[in-house]
């Protein structure tokens, strides 16, 4: 097939070799109780809900901190550190007890957000994409296969800005567990190999400025770093 210009393929390195081609990027909104409360919501008032980021928002944070340009048209740019689940097996209407069979591995990612634009759209009853979808707005670590990590349902998650801890929690505090997230998401979409699922962020989200260095870490998964330029 002759393309009129070269196609863009987003991929993330896999520990142990190879690269994971990214198909779709799903995100769970408000999935830690403390973050839901800080955003003004009752954490158990509704079932999980999802939004998407563009595939090419994902950027591999290889060789240290990846640079993230401060995005256009915002004055309130926020960090959100998250455990990311990489899907490796096709499935729809997946039973929670079988969800782990569909996991290829795990990574740590940053769901960077133009908070002012997101809130403006939310208050107007409009889609969030302008706040959540932005160039290089989803830095991601290498993906660690589940065969190496085991199934992850707990572990420290934290984010530092210039060495100061801003977010800190435990994966066990997810409102909706990873099996529940996969099961619920697969009611609406056929999950395919290459899909990524950002599982939510704990409390402590805050604005960053040019020059800030962000370092996220999840026990058993590793680190991701980015510098705002």
**Which among 215, 15, 10 is positioned nearest to 106, based on CA atoms?**
15
Q: What are phi and psi of 173, to 5 degrees?
A: -90, 10
Q: State the pLDDT at residue 225.
A: 95
Q: Which domains does the chain have, with CATH numbers?
A: 11-228 (3.90.850.10)
Distance CA 212, CA 206 (A): 12
Q: Block means of pLDDT (10 residues each) for the chain, length 229 residues? A: 91 96 94 68 72 95 85 97 98 98 98 95 90 95 97 97 97 94 97 97 95 96 95
Q: State the pLDDT at residue 172.
A: 93
DSSP 143: B
Q: State the pLDDT at residue 38.
A: 64
Q: State the pLDDT at residue 122.
A: 87
Q: State the pLDDT at residue 45.
A: 64
CB 93 within 8 Å of CB 75:
no
CB 11 within 8 Å of CB 22:
yes
pTM to 2 decimal places:
0.94
């Amino acid at each position: 097939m002759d393309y009129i210009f070269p196609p863009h393929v987003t991929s993330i390195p896999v520990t142990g070799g190879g690269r994971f081609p990214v198909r779709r990027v799903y995100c769970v909104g408000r999935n830690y109780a403390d973050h839901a409360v800080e955003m003004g919501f009752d954490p158990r008032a509704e079932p999980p809900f999802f939004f998407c980021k563009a595939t090419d928002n994902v950027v591999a944070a290889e060789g240290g901190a990846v640079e993230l340009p401060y995005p256009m048209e915002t004055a309130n740019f926020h960090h959100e550190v998250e455990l990311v689940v990489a899907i490796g097996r096709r499935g729809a209407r997946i039973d929670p007890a079988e969800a782990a069979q569909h996991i290829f591995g795990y990574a740590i990612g940053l769901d960077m957000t133009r908070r002012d634009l997101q809130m403006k759209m939310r208050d107007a009853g409009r889609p969030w994409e302008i706040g959540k979808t932005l160039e290089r707005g989803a830095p991601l670590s290498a993906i660690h296969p589940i065969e190496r990590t085991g199934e992850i349902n707990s572990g420290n998650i934290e984010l530092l800005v210039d060495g100061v801890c801003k977010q800190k929690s435990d994966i066990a505090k997810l409102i909706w567990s990873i099996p529940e997230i996969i099961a619920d998401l697969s009611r609406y979409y056929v999950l395919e190999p290459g899909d990524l699922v950002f599982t939510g962020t704990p409390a402590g989200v805050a604005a960053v400025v040019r020059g800030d260095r962000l370092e996220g870490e999840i026990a058993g998964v590793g680190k991701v770093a980015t510098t705002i330029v």
